[in-house]
A and B are shown apart, each in its own frame.
Chain A
Amino acid sequence: MFGTFCAVNDVSLDIQKGEFLTLLGPSGSGKTTLLMMIAGFLDITSGDISLDSETLIGVPPEKRNFGMVFQGYALFPHMTVRDNIGYALSVRKTPKAEIDIRVEEMLELVQLQSFADRKPNQLSGGQQQRVALARALCFSPPVLLLDEPLGALDKKLRVEVQEQLKDIHRRVGTTFIYVTHDQEEALSMSDRVVIMRDGAIEQIGSPKELYEKPESKFSAGFLGKSNFLYLEDGTYALRPEKIDIAAEGAGAAPRMTGKVRSVTYFGSIQRVMVETDEAGELEVDVDNWRNPTSFRAGQNVDLMWEDHAAVMLQRSED
């Protein structure tokens, strides 16, 4: 059990030892601010941040023992990779031999053994990212904070590094607190995701919980796509892939009927936008393998879904 993290706007959050927790939100949602407060670079005006039920208020950043991977990596440009990684131990006056051994371990962990004596500006973006990771993990911090660590990488490399990060998390067992605005990244890597909005927590849960049981329109819309149904007893979120579609009259017990406005083909799916009387425009993702029917604009269709596919939102305000 990891104590309670409190930040502005009444954020209250327990983080489990060893978990991979992601703070997810659009820019300006306060996720980086929260991370900086945890790291000690920003002061909090009220509330408490504690580690193992000991408060961290008033403890300067260098005494908190949290590793951190910065946006843009913030490597020391005048030092070699080796010196960058060993810095945390070196400022702790660790004996040189000990540092050397630990740095070698880290180099191996991030597979940069052959780059140890280069300067950061002689490395690629992905390599720099790994140096930043190794540097932050070198002193075995109980918590590693990562601030959009993959933001500067291109899409293909990012997927690769995501795998490496997960792998490293598994191997070192350190608690990761990970900030990102990329929902796929959040879903694929995290044990738990905290969706943040306007400096407050919108919803906390495992990726599956958040996806399957969004509590608000914001959660539902930010994590994946969602249709919203405004019924008498409340607002429901309905994921596009959970709607079945058939030509008019071909569906069994259709819940709604509507007219196709547009069809977009994506290979594995086709996205059909259907105009309904009851719920306005609905997005339907059709699995092309399971439902090879081709739809065309102007066509009338039947829409069906199972009862539990539509999730009633606990908070229906915007």
Chain B
Amino acid sequence: MSDKQFMRETLVEGAHAFKAGKMDRRTFLALCGATGFVSASVLAGDAQAAADHVVMWNWGGQSEECHGSAIGEAFTAATGKGLKFDTSGPLEGKIKEMVDSGNVTADVADADLFNAVSLGPTGHLEAIDYSVVSKEKTLPGYALEHGVSIILYGYAFVYDTEAYGDNPPENWADFFDTEKFPGMRSLYKWANGSLEAALLADGVAGDALYPLDMGRALSKIKSIKDNSLYWGSGSAAHSMVVNGEVSMGMIWQNRGRNIENDTDGRYKLVNNQALAMPGAYIVPKGNPAGRDAVMKFIATAQEVDAQLKLLDCLGMTPSNPAAFNKIPEGQQDYAITSAKNIEKIVYNDPDWWGKNGGDAVNAFLEAIS
């Protein structure tokens, strides 16, 4: 669900990168320092200051640095306004609470597109101004009234090459086939992606998934219940694989490279039938910096340059079609909208999730617990 904890875990990866020497000490310390500084300034948050910067509500960690370099710098150059962060994680309940309390301290939330569907009609979000933001600079169907997709992340899976070396699994049907491919599986705990994977495995076509047939999906899920674990965070997904707890594990696809590295290539990423999730920017109703400023910020994030920087820095795949064929060669295997993968992926329907997500999560939890 909107539990995009993987954003937060980029901090962990930041620490990994630092250890591996990919990030120098000064950057790392600056990153750590920035967290403290930004939190303090957000807390101070007086109205005067609010006018000259935009506050982004994200999951902290490395995404602060990446959002700053990929979007913030260009935005500041164009408008003179700064970028600050609230790193507490914009879960749907928290956005609702913030708006309901009347104390809105964030301008733009790095959330899921289906949040725009569920929170928009209830009056918790500002409408996107499509005279500033472009509908063309995202995938069709991913520019909605109250939110626009900026990046994509995907649910793919990795498998143990030692267990299935000669006859590797190729799709979700293989993933759910524990007779042909014996071993443990791991799936995402908050239903998203897991339900789609189950239906694809059960033979539903990728373009005929929605509305999801919950009964069918859940009975498929239950068919491997005894052989599966469920993760709620990217680090759990990672450790279940790396510790050898599962021989096939659903993961956020941007973690694929790390897992392949951490297991010395023993586990391999499969992007076929990867489920593309639109990550979106949404604006809490009554945001302090005003609607114009935040729309310009969102428009900046749509630019090809920003999109490629986000991919490079965070592993998030561009959603602007103009960026697809500019994805560098070295990143194409791990980016779901690269030429190598884009034909094989299946798109998430934010409208269905926005309207049915809550019930779907509860039904899923009921099925697995």
Question: Do A and B contact each other directly (Cβ–Cβ < 8 Å)?
Answer: no
Residues of B that sit less than 8 Å from A by CB: none
List residues of A whose CB falls within 8 A of some B CB. Answer: none
